[in-house]
Amino acid sequence: MEVGKLSTTDTICCARDESVQGAALLMRKHHVGDLVVVEEPDGERIPIGIVTDRDIVVSVIALGLDPLGLQVGDIMTDDLLTAGENDDIYATIERMRLRGIRRVPVVTDSGALAGIVSADDLLTFLAEEMEELSRISPYQQQHEKRARQ
């Protein structure tokens, strides 16, 4: 399966010059724990970073800094891991594991933001796959009983 099929397409974004407080308010308003930081050349949202609620707590609040005086660009992660819409889910999981990343923006072939996929999205998918796999033995037993009567 492809990552794009699991991604959340209603991705909440902001610009790098958004204040940290503004970012926190966006997260609160939309009930999310991250924002994809984008630039919009030619009207396409191109991801350039990501900021999480944890980034705000660890980099701003814990240090007693003013969230109004800092911009998202000051604290965002700009070493951004992205996945293509057509990338394989298992390859994406491996890349996330190797980098210790829980959220990955999903991009089109042109690099425009198409959505975001999280570790939770992938866990849900894998749990459903495991549930389907667990149904093999009982089905096989029932099939065998019918075939041998």
Residue 148 has pLDDT above 80, yes or no: no
Give percent of the chain with pLDDT exceeding 70: 94
As a whole number, mean pLDDT of residues 30-59 equals 96
Q: Indicate the residue type of 34.
A: D
pLDDT in the model for residue 137: 74
pTM, two decimals, is 0.85
Distances (CA, A) of 86 to 42, 92, 119, 139: 23, 10, 17, 33
The domains located in the chain, with CATH, are: 3-119 (3.10.580.10)
Radius of gyration of the chain (CA): 20
Strand partners, 115: 106
pLDDT digits (tens, 9 = 90+) for 75-119: 999 899 999 999 999 999 999 999 999 999 999 999 999 999 999
Computed from CA positions of residues 17, 20, 26, 31, in that sequence, does the dihedral angle turn out positive or negative? positive
DSSP E strand stretches across the chain: 13-14, 34-39, 46-52, 83-84, 103-107, 113-118
Could you give the C-alpha distances from 94 to 9, 115, 122, 123, 138, in angstroms and in order?
A: 22, 19, 11, 13, 31
Give me the half-sphere count of Cα atoms (radius 13 Å) on the Cβ side of residue 102: 8
CA 45 to CA 15: how far, in whole Å? 10
